[in-house]
């Protein structure tokens, strides 16, 4: 199954989103890296590297990474540099909105979709209309 | 291992790097609230606090007798400091400064430092920052201070004594940092403000200028003797 990694500035944001993802798709591996030590907001490359390692171990069909803002992308870039090339090839990073994308991706991953299809589900989820059609 | 000899022409070795890290930690601590205020104006208001936390960790490492091995050369000192910054500072500044220190340390290894080696170190740091953050001069980032410092060192050339060359680099970095005031940010959180980011100094450029000034002071102090 494809696993997900959530990278955001806030530990609470990551915890809350992981709970939403698990509710939608309990079997999908979800790891997170949110916030800094002492309750500070921000992203940490070593924390992201650790989350990627856990997700790689749990998600045998690859890992999709979601970002919130700004430095999250840099932290992921640095974390990827520390991995073996073989592991790096099993990871994709998406620009999809983290909440909508992660929930849609998790549902696709739970259905057994491969990494490409999970990436597509995240993109589609990010573009789906939110207001009720009437 | 003895630190390399430091003469007027200047082999800038582990002693200078250690002195630099200590001066930088003191300066960042002293200017913590100012850096944070700069960041609060156009960013997320944590630059001084986060850098101070990182440099406090570097200081603790320098004072830890069990980590003496990490002080063997300028290269290992810089790499160890960069890892601390990555782990403790966090955010964009942690990623950029951490990577810059690590790459500079890897480039320098245990070579003694003169102006030529300083240019190589600044080249490595600038490459590390630009390849990660994709900022160019004028984007209102720390590149606006780091690039002019590197350029000033290049102009100084290997014939100039190191403290003088680094003083010129520090002057250039401070000029570059002040020149970010009227700019509209094109990278980082400040870019979310668009035109409203003009009129404020970029906090990353400001802290870079402080760090380069501390390096110049460290080199000058080593030459002058204890």
What does pTM read for this prediction? 0.91
pLDDT > 50? residue A22: yes
pLDDT > 80? residue B3: no
pLDDT of residue B66: 85
Predicted confidence (pLDDT) per residue in A109-119, tens digit:
999 999 999 99
CA-nearest residue to B192 within chain A is A70
Structure tokens at B43: 């960013």
Predicted confidence (pLDDT) per residue in B161-173, tens digit:
999 999 999 999 9
A28 vs B225: which has the higher pLDDT: A28
Structure tokens at A124: 């589609």
Min Cα–Cα distance to chain A from B225, Å: 39
Residue B125 Cα distances to A127, B5, B52, B71, B102, angstroms? 39, 25, 20, 20, 8
The answer to whether B130 and B106 are in contact (CB under 8 A) is no
DSSP per-residue string spanning B176-210: HHHTTTTPPP-STGGGGGGGGGTTS--HHHHHHHH
Give the percent of chain A with pLDDT over 70: 99
CB contact under 8 A, B133 and A45: no
Q: Give B133's contacts in chain A (Cβ within 8 Å).
A: 74
Confidence of residue B67 (pLDDT cuts 50, 70, 90): confident
C-alpha–C-alpha distance, residues B115 and B157, integer Å: 7
Among candidate residues B214, B219, B55, B35, the one with its CA nearest the CA of residue B142 = B35
Contacting B residues, span 118-147, partner chain A, CB-CB under 8 Å: 132-133
User: What is the mean pLDDT of the segment spanning A67-84?
Assistant: 95
Min Cα–Cα distance to chain B from A134, Å: 34
For A74, the closest of B46, B49, B133 (CB atoms) is B133
pLDDT of residue B112: 63
C-alpha–C-alpha distance, residues A81 and B223, integer Å: 38
Confidence of residue B226 (pLDDT cuts 50, 70, 90): low
Chains A and B: how many Cβ contacts under 8 Å? 55
CB atoms inside a 10 Å sphere around CB A89: 10
Q: Give A79's contacts in chain B (Cβ within 8 Å).
A: none
pLDDT of residue B4: 41
pLDDT of residue B123: 98
pLDDT of residue B12: 52
Predicted confidence (pLDDT) per residue in B68-107, tens digit:
766 678 899 999 999 999 999 988 999 999 999 999 999 9
C-alpha–C-alpha distance, residues B88 and B82, integer Å: 10
Helices (H), chain A: 11-24, 45-58, 71-81, 85-88, 98-110, 115-127
CB atoms inside a 10 Å sphere around CB B213: 21
Length of chain A: 134
On whether any CB of chain B is under 8 Å from the CB of A112, the answer is no
């Amino acid at each position: 199954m494809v696993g997900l990694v959530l990278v955001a500035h806030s530990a609470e944001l990551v915890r809350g989103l992981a709970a939403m993802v698990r509710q939608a798709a309990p079997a999908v591996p979800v790891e997170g890296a949110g916030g800094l030590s002492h309750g500070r907001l921000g992203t940490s490359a070593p924390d992201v590297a650790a989350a990627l390692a856990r997700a790689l171990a749990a998600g045998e069909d690859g890992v999709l990474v979601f970002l919130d803002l700004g430095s999250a992308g840099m932290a992921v870039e640095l974390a990827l540099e520390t991995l073996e090339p073989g592991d790096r090839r099993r990871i994709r990073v998406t620009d999809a909105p983290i909440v909508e994308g992660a929930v849609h991706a998790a549902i696709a991953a739970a259905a057994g979709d491969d990494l490409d299809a999970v990436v597509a589900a995240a993109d589609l989820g990010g573009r789906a209309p939110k207001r009720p059609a009437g | 291992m003895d630190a390399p000899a430091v003469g007027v022409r200047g082999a800038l070795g582990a002693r200078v790097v250690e002195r630099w890290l200590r001066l930088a930690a003191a300066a960042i601590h002293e200017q913590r609230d100012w850096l944070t205020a700069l960041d609060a104006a156009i960013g997320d208001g944590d630059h001084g606090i986060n850098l101070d936390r990182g440099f406090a960790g570097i200081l603790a490492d320098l004072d830890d007798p069990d980590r003496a091995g990490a002080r063997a050369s300028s290269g290992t000192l810089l790499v160890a400091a960069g890892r601390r910054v990555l782990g403790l500072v966090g955010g964009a500044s942690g990623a950029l400064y951490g990577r810059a220190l690590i790459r500079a340390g890897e480039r320098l290894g245990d070579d003694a430092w003169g102006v030529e080696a300083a240019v190589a170190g600044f080249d490595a740091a600038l490459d590390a920052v630009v390849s990660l953050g994709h900022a160019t001069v004028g984007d209102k980032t720390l590149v606006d201070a780091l690039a002019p410092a590197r350029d000033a060192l290049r102009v100084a050339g290997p014939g100039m004594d190191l403290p003088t060359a680094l003083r010129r680099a520090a002057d250039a970095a401070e000029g570059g940092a002040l020149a970010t005031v009227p700019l509209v940010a094109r990278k980082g959180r400040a870019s979310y403000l668009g035109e409203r980011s003009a009129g404020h100094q970029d906090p990353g450029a400001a802290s870079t200028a402080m760090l380069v000034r501390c390096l110049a002071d460290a080199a000058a102090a080593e030459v002058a003797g204890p």
